Amino acid sequence: MLNRECTKAYKIPDTDIVLEKGILTVIPVFALHHDPKYYPDPERFDPERFSEEEKAKRHNYVYLPFGEGPRICIGMRFGLMQTKVGLVSLLSKYQFSLSEKTPVPLLIDAKAIFLSPVGGMWLQIKQRAK
C-alpha cells in the first residue's frame, strides 16, 4: 500500500466525492496489480504483461511496485539489484521444488498485512552437484 497526503482538493470523476486538501489516502497497490480491467486473468503467470508493447497499452500509474513520481522508493535500484544477485547466487547452488505440504493453487491470505499464502509456502531445497 502507498500512503499519500492530498495536496489540493480533488473531486473523484463521476462521483460526488471530494478529497479535501490534507486528507490521508491509501493506494491499494495489490488491488491495482490484480485488477482485470488492466491485467486480464490477473492470477495467471504471464511475463509478457511487462513487455514494452503491453506496458504502452496501459496507464502509467497502474503498476507501482516501488511507488511512482517524485516519491518513488529511493532504494528501488538497490532492491532490484540485490534481488537479482541473490537469485543468481541461490539458483546456481540449489535446486528448488514445491513440497507436498504446499497447497496448489496458492491462496493469498486477504487478512494478512503482508502478502502471504494461506498455510505457507513449503519448499524442498537440494544442493546442486559441483
Task: Pick out the residues of the known binding site for heme.
Answer: 73
Give the phi and the psi of residue 81 in degrees, each rounded to 5. Answer: -65, -45
| Count of alpha carbons within 13 angstroms of residue 100, beta-carbon side | 0
- List, in sequence order, the alpha helices (H) in the chain: 29-33, 52-57, 76-93
Cell numbers representing residue 45 in the block: 503467470
CB 42 within 8 A of CB 36: yes
CA distances from 8 to 4, 5, 33, 57 (A): 12, 9, 26, 29
Query: Binding site: residue ranges?
Result: 73
Determine the 3-state secondary structure of 25 from DSSP: strand
